[in-house]
Amino acid sequence: MPQDRQSQFTLRPALPGDLDQLCHLEQTAFQGDRLSRRRFRHWLQTDHRVFLVAEQRSALLGYGLVLLRRGTRLARLYSLAVAPAGRGLGIGKALLSAAEDAARACGRLYMRLEVAEQNTPAIALYRQLGYRTFGSYANYYEDAGAALRMQKRIRYRPENLQTLNVPWYGQRTEFTCGPAAAMMAMAGLDSGYEPNESDELTLWREATTIFMTSGHGGCHPIGLALALHQRGFSSEVYLNLTGPLFISGVRSEEKKRVMAQVDRDYRAQARARGLPVIAEDFTQQRCQQWLEEGALVLLLISTYRLDGKKVPHWVTLTGMDDECFYVHDPDVDDEDNPLDSQYLPIAREDFAKMSLFGTERLRTAVVVRRFQ
């Protein structure tokens, strides 16, 4: 009887002692876009990843590296390589299947990947394993080649996903997440609108609190709602605090005075324009109702569960199902890959904590609709 092909190799977690072999494998497996020795060392030492190798008699024949973005249920296949000596043994399929199992055990719901449009063997493997193409990425590789974007749901959940076609836009500065989120909502509700940097900065000037704990001011929910109202969109604000926002960590009394004045001014303008500011919390059920009604929602979250920093951050809610919120995050991830910031799945139980900010437990949402 022929020997079982997978019995010719074993899978195990990558170890620091594999560094030299990993670098050699990378050189033999790829013609370009190779991971450097420095990046391999980084991924061997860091958390929030799945790193597996295929071994045969102490020789590495392949590896699979999956990144696990903090605070989400999304995994990303960062690299999958098989040495020439290991091809035809089913190593790629075994590594990817094992990586999916490990990512699923870590609570991830989806696996995403990019693959060169010309890499027909890899594309065939991914399709065989259930991945589907949902877009492309131009000039993705060193040779300016395009990449296909593929995704697979790696854990089944009953779906009741409410989705809108919302174009993604990445913030151009570290302090304009609010305007970027607002422009994505505008583009989702008005197909004729195209987000741009000029509008991003103008919206920030109109909606900023002027100061934050340090650095540039963030965007006030009522300020964003007023700016959207000015541009022909109906908006309402849910805000569970009646006093000035983002002020608890500010030490300067002068900054506090200015922020309090900005808050009073925004509330006065909202009353004058008939813009609803509902002084109460909102539920996840209300969010789903808003989406079903055709609205989009700007949500303020704390980034602590994403990057370990306690920073207020605006995202655009673009869909929901029984398990997850799906958001467009205007901040590109650490690997500078916009793909991972689109329809980003965040488990409902995680979102309940992420949507509270600061010691005052601020929770706020801006509901955006087209004027009827």
Nearest to 217 by CA among 178, 254, 185: 178
H helix runs in 248-303, sequence order: 253-273, 284-292
Domain 162-370 has CATH 3.90.70.10: yes
- Asked whether the beta carbons of 367 and 297 are under 8 A apart, the reply is yes
256-280 confidence digits (pLDDT tens): 999 999 999 999 999 999 999 999 9
Nearest to 21 by CA among 91, 77, 81, 67: 81
- Asked whether the beta carbons of 253 and 204 are under 8 A apart, the reply is no
Q: In the numeric block, which tokens belong to residue 155?
A: 């854990």
Q: How far apart are the C-alpha atoms of 41 and 31, rounded to whole Å?
A: 21
pLDDT < 70 stretches in the chain: 1-7, 156-163, 304-309, 333-337, 339-340, 372
Instruction: Please report where in the chains the tokens 């002027």 appear, as a residue.
Output: 210
- Asked whether the beta carbons of 79 and 2 are under 8 A apart, the reply is no
* Crossing angle of the two packed helices 37-45 and 19-29, in degrees rounded to 10: 130
- Domain locations in the chain as residue ranges: 5-153, 162-370
Predicted local confidence at residue 129, as pLDDT: 93
Q: What share of the chain is helix, strand, coil (3-state, %, to 5)?
A: 35, 25, 35
Predicted local confidence at residue 339, as pLDDT: 65
Q: Taken in order 285, 357, 203, 188, is the CA torsion positive or negative?
A: negative
78-109 confidence digits (pLDDT tens): 999 999 999 999 999 999 999 999 999 898 88
Identity of the residue numbered 178? G
148-167 residues labelled b (16+ CB within 10 A) or e (exposed): bbbbbebeeeeeeebeeebe
Q: In CATH terms, are 5-153 and 162-370 the same topology? A: no
DSSP letter, residue 86: G
Q: How far apart are the C-alpha atoms of 115 and 346, rounded to whole Å?
A: 25
93: left (phi over 0), alpha (psi -120 to 50) or beta: alpha
CA 126, 129, 131: angle at the middle one, nearest 5?
A: 55
Predicted local confidence at residue 345, as pLDDT: 82
Q: Homologous superfamily of 5-153 in CATH?
A: Gcn5-related N-acetyltransferase (GNAT) (3.40.630.30)
